[in-house]
Amino acid sequence: MHDIEPHFRWRDLYVASEDTRSPFYGRKYSEFYFTNKLYNFYLHPQWDEFGSSTLYAKILFADYEQGYALIELIGEWNDTLHNDIMYLKREIGDALFREGINKFVFFCDNVLNFHGADDDYYAEWAEEVHEEGGWIVLTNTRLHVEQEMHDSRLHHYLNFGEEYNDLLWRSQKPQIVFSLLEAMVSGRVRRLAG
């Protein structure tokens, strides 16, 4: 896992540690020292820790004028043992929401497992963003992760599932990825995967 880097092709457009409105503003990274771990496996040092012991993130792009953020996740999303949604919402979601972000895209290609618990934080977050005309999308969830999320009733609050999977996002510009997902959420486009 130590060689899985966050997506870096958009760094010429946005760097969260250089964005004064980002919750990760001012963070310093090492290319040589690996400190964050997922169980017994070290993670690449570019991933950001936000309070969870099993889930890490990287804000890849934020557009405050249009109100959206594109965020990549890695690890195990474990609400049962670690209440990861609390950390994700409070440390990243709420911080960006205060800055005008109401549309959140989470790239879940590297989310290996999901363990659900209460849906209170999901309901709260969904209500907050919906009141501002926003939404939350999870893309490229693994089938067993998607099934566990569905069993935990998260489809009432988040947009995820087959139509949001197999999205080839890494080769696109962030504005294109956002526009495509926004069209999907609004129902203007049915399925963009392929």
- Given this model, what pLDDT does residue 192 score? 47
- Given this model, what pLDDT does residue 92 score? 98
- Given this model, what pLDDT does residue 191 score? 58
Burial-class residue 17 by CB neighbours within 10 Å (0-12, 13-18, 19+): middle
Q: Per the structure block, which two tokens stand in for 190?
A: 């049915």
Q: Mean pLDDT for each consecutive 10-residue tract of the chain (194 residues)?
A: 82 97 92 76 89 96 98 97 96 98 98 96 98 98 97 97 94 97 88 49
- Given this model, what pLDDT does residue 168 score? 93
The sign one gets for the Cα dihedral 19, 101, 13, 75 is positive
pTM: 0.94
Alpha helix (H) ranges present in the chain? 79-82, 84-87, 94-98, 120-131, 143-151, 174-186
